[in-house]
């Protein structure tokens, strides 16, 4: 929230009130007023009137500046509170998203396990197929050998007749 020149001035006054320079200046002013009274440089009524009026005006303006600073700080705190509430809502949404992602990860993990089981079954089936193929090849080779012997026997019988 942008601050106008009055707000900036109010903040600088309230910051400077407790500074060593401010304490020194107030001490000098009070000391000067007391010296004016002690040495009767100005009439008592005039010194008291000017001094009390100046103190009253200073107190009023300081109270106003301090209140402006408090109001500005309160507004800033409220903004921070609103931002915190928004962040809490965002965090809640993020937690929901994380839970959804975790569910998705769990589903993916189950899918990977299913695929792994399928791959194992396929590997077992392939191993059985390889064994079956070897057995069939062995049987075919045996049949081929028997057929060759049979053909050789048939040829011998033809030659013998």
- Give the separation between CA 130 and CA 125, rounded to whole angstroms: 9
**pLDDT at site 158:** 77
| Number of neighbouring beta carbons within 10 Å of residue 65 | 20
Residues 105-134: tens digit of each pLDDT:
888 898 888 888 878 877 777 778 788 888
Question: What integer pLDDT is reported at residue 132 of this predicted model?
Answer: 83
Stated pTM of the model: 0.53
Q: How far apart, in whole angstroms, are the C-alpha atoms of residue 58 and residue 48?
A: 15
pLDDT, residue 119, reads 81
Which residues of the chain, if any, have pLDDT below 50? Answer: none
Q: Which residues of 96-121 are buried (b: 16+ CB within 10 A; e: fewer)?
A: eeeeeeeeeeeeeeeeeeeeeeeeee
Report CA dihedral (46, 47, 52, 58) to the nearest 10 degrees.
110
Q: Domain count for the chain, please give it.
A: 1
Residues 6+ apart with CB under 8 A from 52: none
The tokens for 133 are 């193929």
With contact defined as beta carbons under 8 Å apart, do 13 and 72 qualify?
Answer: no
pLDDT the model gives residue 25 = 94
Domain of residue 31: give its range: 5-160
Q: What is the pLDDT of residue 161?
A: 65
Give the pLDDT confidence score for residue 85 in this predicted structure.
94
- What's the confidence (pLDDT) of residue 129? 78
């Amino acid at each position: 929230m942008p601050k106008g020149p009055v707000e900036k001035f109010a903040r600088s006054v309230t910051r400077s009130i407790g500074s060593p320079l401010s304490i020194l200046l107030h001490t000098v002013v009070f000391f000067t007023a007391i010296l004016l009274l002690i040495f009767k440089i100005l009439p008592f009524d005039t010194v008291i009137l000017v001094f009390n009026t100046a103190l009253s005006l200073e107190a009023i303006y300081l109270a106003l500046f301090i209140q402006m600073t408090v109001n500005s700080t309160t507004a800033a705190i409220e903004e921070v509170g609103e931002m915190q509430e928004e962040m809490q809502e965002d965090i809640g949404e993020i937690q929901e998203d994380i839970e959804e992602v975790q569910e998705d990860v769990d589903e993916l993990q189950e899918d990977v396990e299913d695929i792994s089981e399928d791959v194992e079954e396929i590997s077992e089936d392939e191993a059985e197929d390889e064994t079956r193929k070897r057995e069939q090849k062995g049987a075919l080779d045996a049949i081929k050998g028997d057929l060759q012997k049979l053909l050789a026997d048939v040829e011998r019988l033809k030659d013998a007749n």
